[in-house]
Amino acid sequence: MARQLTERDGRVALGDHVLEKARVARERYGPFIDATAIMRILDDRDIVRYPVGIRFDAEPLHPGEFGYAMPLGEHPREGYCLFLHPAFEHQRELWPRLIAYHIPPINYGDIADAEDSELFGASLLGLTVDSYYQELCGIADSVAKHEAY
């Protein structure tokens, strides 16, 4: 009799796939992922399934949000525009952290959650999930402070 797969089995499989994509990216473009490397990762269809362009524009962002991957059509193959808060346009050292977080939702759609994004970003950047999460919190706090002025 075939084993019945559970939601947990699916979550584990997704997590494994997320880790594998991060491993491949680090192997090809790392081990240090800088702004140039993350842009090359976005163009690598083995790692990022759909085309992604970057735009520094806060209009589609919610207050305190540092980025949002907006679909450019009805099907993901039409690509995405990753809107990043303009406060980060000249902070290239932060681009890998900002962009990496959005790769799982671009690749996997709604089944990818914040934990998948944190796992991918941490693995790609060689950080623990906790330290990557703390960095993201600091980035989000800086957006809120920027918006307060």
Domain membership flag for residue 84: yes
Tens of pLDDT, residues 113-144? 999 999 999 999 999 999 999 999 999 998 87
Domain membership flag for residue 1: no
Contact 82, 54 (CB under 8 A): yes
The lowest-confidence range among 9-13, 89-93, 106-110 is: 9-13
- Round to whole Å and give the CA distance between 122 and 67: 17
Residue type, 135: E
The answer to whether the predicted template modeling score (pTM) of the entire model surpasses 0.85 is: yes
The predicted structure's pLDDT at residue 6: 87
Tens of pLDDT, residues 23-60? 999 999 999 999 999 999 999 999 999 999 999 999 99
- Tokens representing residue 33 in the block: 């992922």
Q: In total, how many domains does the chain have?
A: 1
Range of the domain at 20: 13-143
Domain membership flag for residue 6: no
